[in-house]
A and B are shown apart, each in its own frame.
Chain A
Amino acid sequence: MPTVSMTVNGKAVSADVEARTLLVHYIRDHIGLTGTHVGCDTSQCGACVVHVNGKSVKSCSTLAVQAEGADVATIEGLANGEELHPMQAAFKENHGLQCGFCTPGMVMSAVDLANNMKNLDEATIREQLDGNICRCTGYHNIVKSIKDGAERMGG
């Protein structure tokens, strides 16, 4: 079995896994960070979005071995101790979640968006959020949260 090593939320991690292990299972089952969710397992829903070297990807459609040596960020790495990340705070204050299942992926996609695109308007947010599905369909407040969060992040 290959030994797969990477940095997750700033910490060096390593595990012996089968080559077919998906990144999401590596993160959840081997590293024990269960904030990243599996909604569909078919690249549709975005509940599994994490950042690999600063870019948002679907961890259900990435092999752990493909992320060997990479810098990975998950939802658990955003907050600074008790202090929420500005995007998390914006989701909380704008009621950007209902059941919360899609939220880790939504927030990780939103942080990638805010980091890489400036002056986000509503149409751009909706378009760039194509890969994230909310089964509770609370899109209105999710979009509001992302606009607010991006502004708090300085965009």
Chain B
Amino acid sequence: MYGFDYHRPGSVADATSALGGADDGKYLAGGQTLLATMKQRLAAPSDLVDLGGIADLKGISVSGGTVTIGATTTHAEVAASADVQGAIPSLAALAGDIGDRQVRNAGTIGGSLANNDPAADYPAAILALGATVTTNKREIAADDFIKGLFETALEEDEIITSVSFPAPTSGAYMKFKQPASRFALVGVYVAKTADGVRVAVTGATSHAHRGPRLEAALNENFSASAVDGVEIPVDHMNVDIHAGAEYRANLVKVMAKRAVEACG
């Protein structure tokens, strides 16, 4: 890892000005992705601006059926939160199944979303639940936030401050883990919401996306058997040593069925 200057601001305003004053600075949250990237010298920021000392970015609140999670809240805190377990149990379960215990104690929801790994879990959650990502500048609907491979709507110095999830009537996330990394080989989140059924798929393609074919079928008939008749296109599926395109496309259906069954 190359050297850098370290900053630990106490407020969002101080964080943006620290980044603004840097040559090529980056925000640091749990470090569970960024530090590994820096060790491999795939990133070499001149400055790290640690968001860990900003009290406003931490914590979970529920109001009027919406769960709001501060950006630096760890996966372990989301999983253990009685508020999240009560309002959106499928979201608490998703957080409790990210990586391993030590990763969950350090990694944050803001870091995971800003990074937008193609196999990460939270991107599927924000899409399926129709969440809103709040930054220091604006509110971004989940559908506009996820842009591409490791690409989001965030501007260079924009900080995610919190994420708000409207509680669905019911929901379930099923992930087929890549057993070594525990990231999703394929993960499917199904939610019954006020706007009908929403389905999000992660791990399958270059970035998490909604599943319009699955949504149409499930809006007509919310049952696992409805998934059988859906054709999942194989063209854009990720292909790697762990799984080919057809296998991944089939996993989308299998995970979708399991999620529908778990929704009840």
- Chain A residues at the B interface, C-beta cutoff of 8 Å: 2, 18-20, 22, 41-43, 46, 49, 55-58, 61-63, 65-66, 68, 109, 112-113, 128-132
User: What A residues does B8 contact at CB under 8 A?
Assistant: 65, 68
Contact of A65 among B3, B6, B101 (CB under 8 A): B6
Beta-carbon nearest neighbor of A116 in chain B: B80
Q: 17 A-B Cβ contacts within 8 A? A: A19-B48, A20-B3, A42-B39, A43-B36, A55-B105, A56-B101, A57-B102, A57-B105, A61-B35, A63-B28, A65-B6, A66-B28, A66-B50, A66-B52, A112-B101, A131-B99, A131-B103
A120 to B220, CA, bound (A): 43
State the CA gap A63–B35 with chains docked (Å).
Answer: 8
A117-B2 Cα distance, complex, nearest whole Å: 39
Minimum Cβ distance to chain A for residue B107 (Å): 10
Q: CB-CB contacts of B26-65 with A at 8 A, as 1s and 0s? A: 0010011001101100000000101010000000000000
Please give the distance in Å from B184's CB to the nearest CB on chain A.
15
List the A side residues contacting B102 at CB < 8 Å: 46, 49, 56-58, 109, 131
Determine which of A41, A55, A62, A129 lies in contact with B31 in the assembled complex, contact meaning CB atoms within 8 Å. A62
B40: min CB distance to chain A, Å: 9
A128 touches B101 (CB 8 A): yes
B5 at the binding interface (Cβ < 8 Å):
yes
**Per-residue A-contact encoding for B2-34, CB less than 8 Å = 1, 0 else:** 111110100000000000000000001001100
A-contact bits for B220-261, CB 8 A (1 contact / 0 none): 000000000000000000000000000000000000000000
CA distance A20 to B47 in the complex (A): 11
Docked CA distance A42–B39 (Å): 9
Residue of A nearest to B180 (CB): A44
Quick check: is B1 within 8 A (CB to CB) of the other chain? Answer: yes
Across the interface, name the chain B residue whose C-beta is closest to A49: B102
Instruction: Tell me, in angstroms, the Cα distance from A140 to B170 when the chains sit together.
Output: 38
Q: Which residue of A lies closest to B80 (CB)?
A: A116
Q: How far does the Cβ of A82 sit from chain B's closest Cβ, in whole Å? A: 30
Contact A61 B36 (CB under 8 A): yes
Q: How far is the CB of B218 from chain A (nearest CB, A)?
A: 30
Bound together, the chains give a CA A131 to CA B99 distance in angstroms of 8
Query: Residue B100 at the A interface, CB < 8 A?
Result: yes
Please report the C-alpha to C-alpha distance between residue A55 and residue B75 in the assembled complex, in whole angstroms: 13
Contacts of B106 in A (CB 8 A): 57-58, 61-62
Q: Which of B132-187 contact A (CB under 8 A)?
A: 182
Chain B residues with CB under 8 Å of A55's CB are 76, 105
Inter-chain contacts of A128 with B (CB < 8 A): 101
Q: Please tell me if the beta carbons of A2 and B6 are within 8 angstroms of each other in the complex.
A: yes
Give the Cβ gap from B84 to chain A, nearest Cβ, in Å: 17
A19-B4 CB under 8 A given contacts A43-B32, A43-B36, A62-B31: yes
CA distance A109 to B182 in the complex (A): 18
Contacts of B28 in A (CB 8 A): 63, 66
Known interface pairs A57-B106, A66-B50; A113-B3 also in contact (CB < 8 Å): no
B5 and chain A: residue at smallest CB distance: A19
Contact partners of B105 in chain A: CB under 8 A: 55-57
Q: List 8 tightest A-B contacts by C-beta distance, closest first.
A: A131-B100, A19-B6, A130-B100, A55-B105, A131-B102, A58-B102, A20-B1, A65-B6
